[in-house]
Structure 1
Amino acid sequence: MEILTSRTLLTSADPQTLTDFYRDVLGLAVAREYPGGTVFHAGAGLIEIPAHMPARDGVGDVLWLQVRDVAAARGELATAGVPIVAEPETKPWGLIEMTVHDPDGRALILVQIPADHPLRRDLR
């Protein structure tokens, strides 16, 4: 499976306080804001605080992995015996997402960005 980009999602019982910390205390630049969350630049990576995702007991970190084709990735993972936690679906914010868990129970959200989505850029 080819990974195009990734980010770490930090869920929190108090996402606004966490967002304030990363923006105002650590001084991270905002890469993107959307209804329900903020994405920050963090060196070569990204950190997202998704207010729309509740904090989970135990493992709260989530990996966001952009793939070229989420249906193909689903097929590869299912063939490898990885249980599909959430089937691919288009979310209200326009991304096609599916979820699996790693062996430690950490959620991996595989994301396909449709061609007409604002995150998609033609780099030619």
Structure 2
Amino acid sequence: MDILSSRIILRPTDYERTLAFYRDSLGLAIAREYPGGTVFFAGQSLIEVAAHGGSGRPSQFDGAIWLQVRDVSDAAAELALKGVALDRAPVQEPWGLIEMWVRDPDGVPIVLVEIPPDHPIRRDTRRSAG
């Protein structure tokens, strides 16, 4: 099977409130809009907020949305100015990433991650030729 693209689809209890959170609070750019939904750019992925197909009850989302940012402290300050409560302030984890946690209006966990310059994700671990 060839996977050509992917996106996360959210079906919130309050479409307008969740749309405003992803658009205004997180500042995600809109990839496209359609009647009853909005798709946002989220780095190399997409997040779709759909006003259709939901149960009207809060989601039992068992996971998290992982968003990489350049500077998690700057992101924390920006979110605070927009009134977004932090679930957990930025902290460097034992695995080396700097993580901060927030939630969307339906309680979906969102981890904002800064990758330090010396982290293995940033280093080319291939052997040099020669």
- If the length of structure 1 is used for normalisation, what is the TM-score? 0.51
Equivalent pairs, count:
70
- RMSD of aligned Cα (Å): 2.3
After superposition, the C-alpha distances for 1:54-94 in whole angstroms (9 at most, x for unaligned) are xxx92213100000000000001011000000010000100
What is the aligned counterpart of 1:83 among 77, 82, 85? 85
Letter in 1 for 2:71: D
The equivalences for 1:28-107 within 5 A come to 58-107=60-109
- If the length of structure 2 is used for normalisation, what is the TM-score? 0.49
Q: Distance in 1 between matches of 2:69 and 2:96?
A: 15
Letter in 2 for 1:66: Q
Which segments of 5 or more consecutive residues in structure 2 lack a partner in the other structure? 1-6, 9-43, 46-58, 125-130
Identity fraction in percent: 53
User: In structure 2, the residue corresponding to 1:78 is in which secondary structure?
Assistant: helix
User: In structure 2, the residue corresponding to 1:74 is in which secondary structure?
Assistant: helix
The structure whose residues are more often strand, as a share, is 1
Larger Rg: 2
User: In structure 1, the residue corresponding to 2:87 is in which secondary structure?
Assistant: strand
Larger RCO of the pair (alpha carbons < 8 Å, separation 6+): 1
**Runs of 4 or more consecutive aligned structure 1 residues displaced over 2 Å after TM superposition:** none
What is the aligned counterpart of 1:119 among 107, 118, 121? 121
Which segments of 5 or more consecutive residues in structure 1 lack a partner in the other structure? 1-6, 9-43, 46-56
